[in-house]
Structure 1
């Protein structure tokens, strides 16, 4: 739909408002949203659109499957990593207050901070914490908090020193979460307040974001339940279901714990478009800070999309401070994705048209998320649209089919292979990984081998032998990605180390089992 056509449709709205004419047609967006949700079997979604001074909210579907309660403008959704922009904004406020500089060394402001590499420990700046160039691998260390943890934020900050880097400091881009927790600890050290209190008082309260919760565990009545297609071995394939296991705890809040409504997204998006200006006399952060938040810092590698989706492929992409900067069909956009177990979100800002939008889902259906995102971008930019829904359905159907096929292959190849090298009792014991902590292997009343991740409450289950010295988990906690567990033996036949790998080839990167290197601590008596 063209700009002029959209403006004509909304002429009656324009007569009632002093704002610039809106170009989003609510009936057209409604029809598109329902089609996308039906295609990908999405339970619920909320959308916020800002066009100049006009803010509209759009709510679709239900908060929970098998429950008639509808999503509305005040229903809160977890926004996952879209929380990172709030943490970056909190640091920007401290810079404006003169308590911090972007090029301050973290070690000078956060005593005891240390990375595995001495040079990175010494030279990492405040900016470095936020731009994914630390040298850590993709999602490295996420199991310290994912899906839950009994460690404190201070313990996690301390244990980062044991994460062995995947590349040199500042050598390239790898997305991480743990350094945003360090950024949250930095907010606390410099301000004297908890991250939660600082964000509440300095950002949420002035913006009157009254629905928003800083805790992932907060459970007001108007909150979504979270869903996933997790009824088969490949997450994303099968029937949609309410998740029994969701992310909990305080430790990861600065990286991804905010819960936000469509109504509250409006003032946050307007703040970004207005470069930190709250009203005629007040600012949340300065114009200089706003520019810094959107300044590209780290180049992001670009993956090739299939031909039906080629128009969505950026020509450049870089990470700024809690945002990504890229182009969309020749137009600069500021954007970020967010995800938790059972929910995904997207924020998109179009500076040249002074427009922005946010999309929040109570499921993991990124096909819906991406199709609606591209549709809104095309509408706001006055561009013709291909069939994004069909394109993304084909893409994800292919990815899921490949994962299903990959899981079937090992089962055929290992048929009839012999058992483990040692008696099951020889595998029993306490194992320690330098950054995660301990895992305990024991035997249950039926003689089955069991495993427990001791820093992740509830994350325990049985081990089933696969082949040689490789087993696989069957976690008792629902919705947790299962993993292969492989033991390496020393020359004398004793266990030298225990390593792990997610079974599903498309498991979320936060299940970073591959980064674990457990060694025996002691046998269990």
Structure 2
């Protein structure tokens, strides 16, 4: 889901394919295994597991490579991986079960079932349906870093943030992937069942399917019998261990962990119309609906470079496409250190699941296509999906023109709390002579590029690659008073840069000192009155205007709470007596002389 902006040097680790026990159909697949091993080697991946089902049987399952590179522990068919967004089909299927019970209607507004959901546009509260959420057509872009970088364990907290998110397309006009809408689906199931989403997944799917090797969340993954460690690839061939990234609140969008053994049971259920071993797990009508087109992903004419792909649509928690004339239903998943792909061909009664412990990996797609080609009898394997061009190693960026221009402020002026209601808050602080940005699960070192522009690097990196330039830039901005009051950087590729407002650190000035500022100040014919209220807070009265609250930002300077960018600075003489105020406004600076220390 998230592409790391950090690079560091690491030794290249060689990989070997490690086999697990074979199924009775070994001969059918053994000719394929050298090619599968080659995919692992070419990708410099740690490992992967694959299982293939036909009708109601597992016809192949095997592990390749290592679940733990450092310990040389092999991947098996029972190794547990994070499956990321393959979770979505589980979440939407819960709603399918609830609909059969008459508890939910996909085409009613989601607020019918979750009144706490409150979009910024009130009309959307009456228009956005569960179906819109299930097929990504709400008009909202991803907003992923609002839950990834600004993580919270509370779904209610993330739900409140949704009020401040703005759609960038009309409802049902454009397909835009959005994880928040799947969190909402999970919350709806909680409301309607009185059980947590996690309990519902376990009771409705894990238990009846015998998915005893599946779990939810990073704590459970770490405690599994055969947990896979997650890795990312640097400089095309260097393997780096990645930490598990908890996504508790966003669980309904991507927090399930599983093995290919367990996921085979899930695939068999879908291939057999929602039933497993003769027991209905998911309603048959929902299975057909979920695997049917609900929203167009790409409406363009087929590309000659991909003649096998003639359409790409979205169902309910599943992606739909053609593959060499075969109807293909699939969903991928990616979360720190893991990539997954779950695929089935409903008309061919074939299913394939590939789970890998490589971040943003092309391995699951390559393995799935290779097996699909053989099972479907596609002769021209070269037409199978190919990954895009490999990204080039970062080139040194000549920032001399930027670096030549110093920052407008000392580093201390950039420090503080920055806030955005849709994303959350984070701190920027000074340590020694460097700036750092602190988020819930990560801390960035900020390297100045020039002016007030900085690039982020992971603080955990002890060696920073000077040739690598982050693709994220943070730009600090000034208000009319010349103070740093905002920070902007691009979180969402589909939207404008996100602006965070700096929250000034207010001083705690004793009441006796505040009393020195009280009195009357005259500017031309206008009399300004400064008082201290019962709460020991300074107030300012200007004729014909409302009462203003003054908030101390330094010993003699106060910001006007109600007026952004407006300040009042008290002037003292050589004897430290207050003699005047300067009103700092966007349209100028104005001085008023103190005429009396008494107030009426």
Structures share a fold, TM > 0.5? yes
Q: 1:452 aligns with which of 434, 438, 445?
A: 438
Q: Which has the larger radius of gyration?
A: 2
Aligned counterpart, 2:352 = 357
State the distance in 2 between where 1:306 and 1:386 align. 18
State the distance in 1 between where 2:436 and 2:320 align. 46
Aligned counterpart, 1:490 = 479
Pairwise CA distance, 1:224: 0.3
The superposition leaves residues 114-151 of structure 1 with CA deviations (integer Å, 9 ceiling, x where unpaired) of: 122222222111111111111111x21x2233157234
State the distance in 1 between where 2:99 and 2:197 align. 15
Shift of the 213–478 alpha-carbon distance from structure 1 to 2, 3 Å rule, reads farther
State the distance in 1 between where 2:266 and 2:383 align. 27
Aligned counterpart, 2:146 = 144
Shift of the 136–272 alpha-carbon distance from structure 1 to 2, 3 Å rule, reads same
Aligned counterpart, 2:330 = 335
Pairwise CA distance, 1:382: 0.6
Q: 1:310 aligns with which of 298, 306, 310?
A: 306
Higher relative contact order (CA 8 A, sep 6+): 1
Pairwise CA distance, 1:81: 0.3
Does the 8 Å CA contact 1:85/1:322 hold for their aligned counterparts?
yes
Aligned counterpart, 2:109 = 105
Does the 8 Å CA contact 1:216/1:253 hold for their aligned counterparts?
no
Aligned counterpart, 2:458 = 475
Q: 2:244 aligns with which of 209, 227, 246?
A: 246
Pairwise CA distance, 1:523: 3.1
Determine whether 1:261 maps to 2:259.
yes
Q: 1:35 aligns with which of 38, 41, 52?
A: 38
Aligned counterpart, 1:121 = 125
Pairwise CA distance, 1:23: 10
Aligned counterpart, 1:6 = none
Determine whether 1:85 maps to 2:75.
no
The superposition leaves residues 362-392 of structure 1 with CA deviations (integer Å, 9 ceiling, x where unpaired) of: 1026332222121122112111133479x84
Aligned counterpart, 1:420 = 407
TM value normalised by structure 1 = 0.84
**Aligned positions of 1:264-413 closer than 5 A:** 264-280=262-278, 282-301=279-298, 310-312=306-308, 314-364=309-359, 366-387=361-382, 392=386, 395-397=388-390, 400-401=391-392, 404-405=394-395, 408=396, 410-412=397-399
State the distance in 1 between where 2:383 and 2:43 align. 12
Shift of the 50–478 alpha-carbon distance from structure 1 to 2, 3 Å rule, reads farther
State the distance in 2 between where 1:331 and 1:208 align. 30
Does the 8 Å CA contact 1:64/1:242 hold for their aligned counterparts?
no
Pairwise CA distance, 1:177: 0.8
Task: List runs of 5+ in structure 1 lacking aligned partners.
Answer: 1-12, 17-21, 503-508
State the distance in 2 between where 1:392 and 1:404 align. 23
Task: List runs of 5+ in structure 2 lacking aligned partners.
Answer: 1-21, 465-469, 508-600
The superposition leaves residues 200-248 of structure 1 with CA deviations (integer Å, 9 ceiling, x where unpaired) of: 0011100000000022321213010000014x5xxxx3511211x3311
Does the 8 Å CA contact 1:342/1:362 hold for their aligned counterparts?
yes
Pairwise CA distance, 1:24: 8.2
Aligned counterpart, 1:3 = none
Pairwise CA distance, 1:417: 2.5
Does the 8 Å CA contact 1:442/1:450 hold for their aligned counterparts?
yes
State the distance in 2 between where 1:367 and 1:106 align. 35
Determine whether 1:206 maps to 2:188.
no
Shift of the 120–98 alpha-carbon distance from structure 1 to 2, 3 Å rule, reads same
Identify which range, 55-64 or 86-95, moves more after superposition: 55-64
| Count of residue pairs brought into register by the alignment | 477
* 3-state SS of paired residue (2:86): helix
Shift of the 341–388 alpha-carbon distance from structure 1 to 2, 3 Å rule, reads farther
Does the 8 Å CA contact 1:51/1:355 hold for their aligned counterparts?
yes
Does the 8 Å CA contact 1:148/1:249 hold for their aligned counterparts?
no
Aligned counterpart, 1:9 = none
The superposition leaves residues 75-106 of structure 1 with CA deviations (integer Å, 9 ceiling, x where unpaired) of: 11111000000001111111111111111221
* 3-state SS of paired residue (2:218): coil
Pairwise CA distance, 1:495: 2.8
State the distance in 2 between where 1:524 and 1:516 align. 25
Identify which range, 197-206 or 378-387, moves more after superposition: 378-387
Pairwise CA distance, 1:442: 2.0
* 3-state SS of paired residue (1:366): coil
Shift of the 512–241 alpha-carbon distance from structure 1 to 2, 3 Å rule, reads farther
State the distance in 2 between where 1:303 and 1:488 align. 41
State the distance in 2 between where 1:488 and 1:54 align. 61
Does the 8 Å CA contact 1:59/1:71 hold for their aligned counterparts?
yes
Q: 2:447 aligns with which of 434, 445, 464?
A: 464
* 3-state SS of paired residue (2:98): helix
Pairwise CA distance, 1:514: 6.3
Pairwise CA distance, 1:491: 3.3
More strand by share: 2
The superposition leaves residues 243-283 of structure 1 with CA deviations (integer Å, 9 ceiling, x where unpaired) of: 1x331141111000111111101110010011111233x31
* 3-state SS of paired residue (2:481): coil
More helix by share: 1
Pairwise CA distance, 1:191: 0.7
Shift of the 477–151 alpha-carbon distance from structure 1 to 2, 3 Å rule, reads farther
Pairwise CA distance, 1:41: 0.8
State the distance in 2 between where 1:423 and 1:109 align. 51
Aligned counterpart, 2:428 = 441
* 3-state SS of paired residue (1:33): helix
